[in-house]
Structure 1
Amino acid sequence: MIVSDTKWTPELSLGGARSKYEALAHAIREGVLTGQLQPGAQLPPVRDLAFRVGVTPGTVARAYRVLVDDRVLVAGVGRGTFVADRPAHIPPGLTEDIAQNMAPSLLADFHVEQISPGYLVSPRMPDMGQAALMARVLAEVAAQPSQLLMRYPSRTTDAGARAAFHAVLDLDAVGPASVEDIVLSHGGQNAVVMIMQTVLHGPAPAIIVDELSYNGFRSAAELCRAEVFSVPWDDEGPVVEVFAQLVRQHRVQLYCTAAEVCNPTTRATSPARRAQIAAIAQRHGVHVIDDDCYSRTQRVGPSYRALLPDLGWYVTSPSKSLTPSLRIGFAVAPQTCARALVRTATGHSFGVSQLVCHTYAHVMAAPELPGIIAAVTKRISQDVASAVQVLDGYDLAWAEGAPFVWLTLPSPWRAGAFVDAAKTYGIVLKSAEAFVQRDSRMVHAVRIAVNGEVGHAEFHNAMIQLRGLLDAPPARIAV
C-alpha cells in the first residue's frame, strides 16, 4: 500500500469468493491495523479512489459504509472520510484502561453506536430530555420492592402500563375501548406478529398490504407463512375495486395498513375511502390492522378499529414519539378478540417485563413529559421543514409530525442509482425498493428520514447535497 496524505491506494486481493467491496474494505482495515493509515488520516474521495483502483464509486462507497459501521472509519457530510481517532479494537465509549481489563467476548459486545450526519435510512429520535427522564425513572423503579425484580410478568403486573396508555388513548379515533381490550407487546412490530398469529388460520392464509408500505408487514407475514398481495392506491387510498377483487379471489383474512401516515409515502387514506374499505372488510370477515406508530399532528379520520368494532385492530408504540429503546407496544383489540390476543402474548413470552411496564407507567406520569414530547415534535418538524424548503420544486410528500419525507425522483434518476450517488456524499437513504414486493412495479423514489441524533445544521447540509444531485445528475445517468 502507498500512503501519502490522501493519495492512499490499496492493493486489492480478489482471490476466493471475496467481492470487490469486501476486498477493498479488507485492504483498508489492514492499512489501519498495520499503521499505514494513522488515526485521523483522511481517505481519498470516493470517486478518486474508484478511479485509482479501477472499481465503481458505488463499490468504494459500500466499502466505506461497512468500515464506518464497524467504527474503523468515521464520515461526515461534506467533510470526507477519516480513520477513527481511537484504536480500532476499542469501541467508542470505553477508556483504554477499562477495555484492557475486559474479557474479549464482553469487549466485542460493548459499543456505543455512532450515527453519521448522513444516516437518513430510518428515523432517529432527538434527545430533548427523555434520556435524563428515563435514567431518573429507572433509578426510581430499581428502588421498588424486590418482587418487581424477581417475578414473571402477568396481566396483573402490566395493568399499570395498560392504564397509563388508556389514559392518553384517543377513543374518538380508536373507538370504545377499555383497559382490558389493551394487550402489551415488545414494540409495534411484535404486536403485528401476535395479531397475525391470532387471526390467521388454515394452511395458506392470505393478507393484503398497500403497494408501498412498511416492510415489517411482509416480514411478519413470512413468519406466519402467509401469502402477501398488494393493493395499489389512488389519490384517496387503496383502490376499492382492486381491494374487493383481491379479497374475493384469494379469500383474504387480514389487511395491514397505516391509515393516518403511510410509511413511506406519508399519505393518508381519506375518511370516505376508509369507510368503503371497512364495508368490504365487514362483508367478507376481513380483519384490519391499523398501524398508528407514526401519527400526524392533526388526525385525518377514525381508525379502522372505530369503523370495524369486531374486526379492527389498533397498534402503536412510543418508539416514534419518545424513544425506541423502551421496547413496549400496544395492541387495542376488538372487544371480542382481546382474550385470544392475551393467550397469544402469553405463549410468546409470558408478557412484557415488570421493569419495562413500571418504567413506562412512571414516564407517562412525569410532569415534564408533555414538554419533552412537544420539543421532540418541534425538532422533527424543523428538519422536515428544511427538507421541504431545500428540495422545493421537486415531488416531495410529507405529513406534519411524521419524521420522514418521500421524494419521487425526476427523470433520468432511478432509485438505485440515486441511492448509490448519495452514498458518495456520505448520505445513506432507503430506496422505494424496500417498501414494495419483489414482483411489484418499479417505483423511482426514496425515503429521507430525520436523523435527530445530529444537529439541524448537519441535516440541512445533507439536504443541500441531495439538491445538488437532483439538479445535476451525472452524465452516465443523464444519457
Structure 2
Amino acid sequence: MDGSDFLGLDPATAPTRGRTAWLAQQIRTALADGTLTPGARLPATRELAKELSVSRGTVVEAYRRLAEEGLLVTNAGGGTAVADLVPAPAVVATPTPEPERSSELLNISEGAPDSSAFPRAAWLRAERRVLATATARDLGYADPQGTPQLREALARWLARSRGIRAAPERIIVTAGVTGALSLLSQTLCDRGITGCAVEDPGAEGNRRILNYWLDTLHPIAVDEDGLDVAALSCTSARVALVTPAHQFPTGVVLSPARRRELIAWAENTDGFVIEDDYDSEYRYDRAPVRAMHAMAPQRIVHISSLSKVLAPALRIGWMIAPDSLHPELVRKRWATDLGSPALPQLTLAELIDTGVLERHLRSMRLRHRRRRDAAVAAVQRYLHGCRVEGVAAGLHLLVLLPDHVDDAAVAGRARAAGIAVQPLSAHRFTRGGPGLVIGYGPHPAPRLEAAIKILGELTPGG
C-alpha cells in the first residue's frame, strides 16, 4: 500500500495539534469498517510522513500506539502490517473453526515477556561496537565458563540487582536455565545423586528437564509460605529445586522462615538447594526480594537468565555453584560444547555496562504492570467467583476456579475457541484445586480482555 493513496487521507483534515491521535484514529476506523484487513501492509513511516506533511515521529508514534493495542505488528525488516488477530468484538466472539491449527491460537499460556519490545536498535549498536573493537582473542575459542567480559558485567549486575556477591570466575555462562539444569543434573548423577525434590505445583518445563536426566523426582507441596520444608525433610532427597522470588505457578514468595529452614535442611543432609531465580526482575509493589544465594553460597546453586527481560531466543543464562561443584561443572561445560557463542555474550556485556539493560528493564516493568492490571480487571469482570493470585510480581496470573470445575476441560474448550491457556493441573504431581495460569506479558490490554472474556464464557460458574 503506497503512501500516496493510503486510506485516501487528506492532510488538510489533520488538526494543527494532536496529529498522532488523529492518524491513529483514522487507522482504527479503517480496521473497524474492514477497509484494512488482517495482514495488510502499511506504508513506511518516512513515506507516509512525507505524504501527509507531518513529522516522521508522528507516524512512528501512531503505529506504536496501535501495535501496543494489538492492532498492528512490526516485523524486523518487514515493515508494519495489520495484526492477524485484531481484538475487535466481532472477531474474538467467534470461536476458531479449526482448533488443530495451532498457529492461529492466541497464546496466553506462557509467562513470557513482550518480545516485540526487544531493544533491537540498541542491540545492533552494541553488536557493531563489539565487532569494531573485538580482538583476535575475542574471536577465538572462549573460556567454557563464558567470556570474561560477560562474567564481569554479570557480577556487577547481580550485585546491584540481586544482592549476590560472586567473583566473575565463579560464574558459569549457560544456555539459559534449561542448560544450567541439564549441566547440573549430569554433574549430580556423576556423584551418585539421582533424585531431586521439586515444588508441587511447579514449573512443568523444569520438571521435564530434571525427569530426563534424573531417576527420581520428589514432589513437595507449596503453600502460602512456599515449599513445605517439613515435608521435604521426610524424603530421601539431597537436592531441592525452588523458585523463591516468585514461585511458578502460585506466585508465592518463599518466606524468611522457610528460607532458613531450607538452608538448615541442606546442611543437615549435606545437600544442595537449586535457586531458580524465576521472575525476580518483575516486582510491582516493592523492590524485588533478594536472592537466597548470599545466605549460604556453599549450599545454594543459583541459576537464572535474562529470557524474561530481553527474549527467550537469546539463550544466555548463568549458574553460580558451590566450590565443591564448580570444577566439575566447568569441565562438563567444556566437554559438552566448549561453551556458549562468544559474540552474543560480548554484545550482552555491552548492554549491561552501558546501562541499556537497566533502562530497558524499567520500561518493561511499566509495560507489564499495565498489562497485569488489565488482566486482573478482566478476570474480575468475566470470571465471577474466581480468585486471582500471584499478582505482585512476574508475568502470569493464577486464577483459582471453583472446586467443581475441570480446569483441563476448560483449557480444551478454550483451545477449540482459539485460546491457548494452561490448566493448573498440568503443573501438579498430586490432585488439587483447579485453576488457570494466564500469561499476560506478550499481549496488549484489548487482546487480554478479549481472551479472558472467552474464558469466562467457557468456564462453568464464570
Report the TM-score, using the length of structure 1 for normalisation.
Answer: 0.69
Q: Distance in 2 between matches of 1:83 and 1:150?
A: 51
Q: In the alignment, residue 390 of structure 1 is paired with which amino acid?
A: A
What is residue 187 of structure 1 aligned with on the other side?
176
What is residue 31 of structure 1 aligned with on the other side?
none
Displacement after TM superposition at 1:148 (Å): 6.5
Matched, 1:373 2:358: no
Matched, 1:447 2:432: no
Matched, 1:236 2:225: yes
Displacement after TM superposition at 1:191 (Å): 0.9
Residues 285-294 or 218-227, more deviating:
218-227
Displacement after TM superposition at 1:140 (Å): 3.2
Q: Distance in 1 between matches of 2:225 and 2:355?
A: 39
Matched, 1:305 2:293: yes
Q: Distance in 1 between matches of 2:330 and 2:364?
A: 33
Q: Distance in 2 between matches of 1:156 and 1:445?
A: 40
Q: How does 1:171-250 map to 2 (within 5 A)?
A: 175-201=164-190, 205-246=194-235, 250=236
What is residue 255 of structure 1 aligned with on the other side?
240
Q: Distance in 1 between matches of 2:196 and 2:287?
A: 26
What is residue 338 of structure 1 aligned with on the other side?
326
- What CA deviation, in whole Å up to 9, does each residue of 1:314-371 have, x standing for no partner? 1111101122221110111224433222112112211111112111111213344333
Gaps of 5+ in 2: 1-36, 39-83
Cα gap change, 1:278 to 1:151, in 2 (>3 Å): same
Q: How does 1:15-26 map to 2 (within 5 A)?
A: none
Matched position secondary structure for 2:197: strand
Q: How does 1:51-450 map to 2 (within 5 A)?
A: 78=89, 79=91, 80=94, 118-126=106-114, 127-128=116-117, 130-145=119-134, 147=136, 151-154=140-143, 158-170=147-159, 175-201=164-190, 205-246=194-235, 250=236, 252-295=237-280, 296-297=282-283, 298=286, 301-392=289-380, 394-437=386-429, 440-450=430-440
Residues 137-146 or 305-314, more deviating:
137-146
Q: Distance in 2 between matches of 1:145 and 1:273?
A: 46
Residues 333-342 or 343-352, more deviating:
333-342
What is residue 58 of structure 2 aligned with on the other side?
none
- What CA deviation, in whole Å up to 9, does each residue of 1:75-107 have, x standing for no partner? 5665147899xxx9xxxxxxxxxxxxxxxxxxx
Q: Distance in 2 between matches of 1:132 and 1:157?
A: 24
Q: In the alignment, residue 348 of structure 1 is paired with which amino acid?
A: T
What is the identity percentage for the equivalent residue pairs of Structure 1 and Structure 2?
20
Aligned match for 1:464, one of 424, 436, 453 = 453
Q: Contact 2:309–2:364 at 8 Å: present in 1 too?
A: yes
Q: Contact 1:200–1:253 at 8 Å: present in 2 too?
A: no
Q: Distance in 2 between matches of 1:82 and 1:172?
A: 43
Q: In the alignment, residue 275 of structure 1 is paired with which amino acid?
A: R
Q: Distance in 2 between matches of 1:347 and 1:272?
A: 40
- What CA deviation, in whole Å up to 9, does each residue of 1:179-214 have, x standing for no partner? 111110011111122122223446672210011111
Q: In the alignment, residue 210 of structure 1 is paired with which amino acid?
A: E
Displacement after TM superposition at 1:431 (Å): 1.6
Q: Contact 1:204–1:227 at 8 Å: present in 2 too?
A: no
Q: What RMSD in Å do the two structures reach over aligned CA positions?
A: 3.2
Cα gap change, 1:376 to 1:391, in 2 (>3 Å): same
Q: In the alignment, residue 262 of structure 2 is paired with which amino acid?
A: I
Cα gap change, 1:172 to 1:199, in 2 (>3 Å): farther
What is residue 24 of structure 1 aligned with on the other side?
none
Cα gap change, 1:208 to 1:324, in 2 (>3 Å): same
- What CA deviation, in whole Å up to 9, does each residue of 1:203-228 have, x standing for no partner? 67221001111123322222323310
Q: Contact 2:245–2:278 at 8 Å: present in 1 too?
A: no
Q: Distance in 2 between matches of 1:396 and 1:467?
A: 14
Q: Distance in 1 between matches of 2:97 and 2:452?
A: 25
Displacement after TM superposition at 1:445 (Å): 1.3
Displacement after TM superposition at 1:149 (Å): 8.0
Residues 294-303 or 186-195, more deviating:
294-303
Q: How many residues align?
A: 369
What is residue 56 of structure 2 aligned with on the other side?
none
Q: Distance in 1 between matches of 2:298 and 2:355?
A: 36
Q: In the alignment, residue 425 of structure 1 is paired with which amino acid?
A: A
Report the TM-score, using the length of structure 2 for normalisation.
Answer: 0.72
Matched position secondary structure for 1:228: strand
Q: Distance in 2 between matches of 1:211 and 1:341?
A: 27
Q: Contact 2:111–2:394 at 8 Å: present in 1 too?
A: no
- What CA deviation, in whole Å up to 9, does each residue of 1:284-309 have, x standing for no partner? 11111110131142467553422322
Gaps of 5+ in 1: 1-38, 41-73, 89-112, 474-479
Q: Distance in 1 between matches of 2:104 and 2:119?
A: 19
Displacement after TM superposition at 1:470 (Å): 4.0
Q: Contact 2:226–2:258 at 8 Å: present in 1 too?
A: yes
Q: Contact 1:397–1:406 at 8 Å: present in 2 too?
A: yes
Q: In the alignment, residue 343 of structure 2 is paired with which amino acid?
A: L
Q: In the alignment, residue 222 of structure 1 is paired with which amino acid?
A: N
Q: Contact 2:97–2:416 at 8 Å: present in 1 too?
A: no
